[in-house]
Amino acid sequence: MTAATYQYVDLPDAQVVTTRALLTARENITDTVAARAMMCIHGNAGFGKTLAVNTCLRELEDARGEEVCRVTFRARPTARAVRYELFTALGLPGEAPRHPSEFDRLLKTALAERPRTFLVDEAQWLNGEAFEYFRYLWDEPSTQLAIVFVGGAGCHTVLRREPMLSSRVFIWQQFARLTPQEVQDVIPLFHPVWAEAAPEDIVFADQHAAHGNFRAWAQLTAHIRTALARTGRPKVDEELLRWAFSRLA
């Protein structure tokens, strides 16, 4: 996948790299969609959750024609707000119903038409009421629904507090930092500026700035590109790294 799809910064020539977490997510998402089940992918910010999930779901869209509806929450939504987000994501015609019972019938009818997968991003913003509404729709026998919740650690915490929903989660996956070995394996593939970098410079960059966090690696890479362009140097060195670190402090 090319840089145009990379989500953190505008980073030409960046590539999506196949980490162990992404491979595991691909398998878990494929199994969840096949089972029309629910799963939760959680972990701290910058570990590549959303990118990995979107990559895997795009593969299912392209290879199998899976219909994926993406919804994202930036504040704690009520069940009413969830209804409106789903109405919009499904592209339903006309005006949204005003009465909850009518709204619920409309959504359940739409979700029974054909199989769909919902990606619910930033799920750490969901409260018990919102999670319960997703469970309510998923439990409806006529709906053909798979749901992938993606969020920070708070997502896992809130889900675990909701036993009715938690007991229905098919797969849990936690994203963590890249290990030092993974950094050495995947960062040279992530962007050309690291392809010719000395292994000790990659270790230095990870220990002092990136710390196994993909978002931090993307930010650092953007600054290194700038430094290389301005200095005309052929590759990364410690001086350029220290200059980039100063921008991240």
User: pTM higher than 0.75 for the full model?
Assistant: yes
The structure tokens listed for 1 are: 């996948």
CA distance linking residue 24 with residue 20, whole number of Å: 6
- DSSP at 117: E
pLDDT tens, per residue, the chain with 249 residues: 343 444 555 788 899 899 999 999 999 999 999 999 999 999 999 999 999 999 999 999 998 899 999 999 878 888 899 999 999 999 999 999 999 999 999 999 999 999 999 999 999 888 888 989 999 999 999 999 999 999 987 888 888 888 888 899 999 999 999 999 999 999 999 999 999 999 999 999 999 999 999 999 999 999 999 999 999 999 999 999 999 999 997
C-alpha angle with apex 57: 116 to 171, nearest 5 degrees?
80
Beta-bridge mates of residue 174: 42
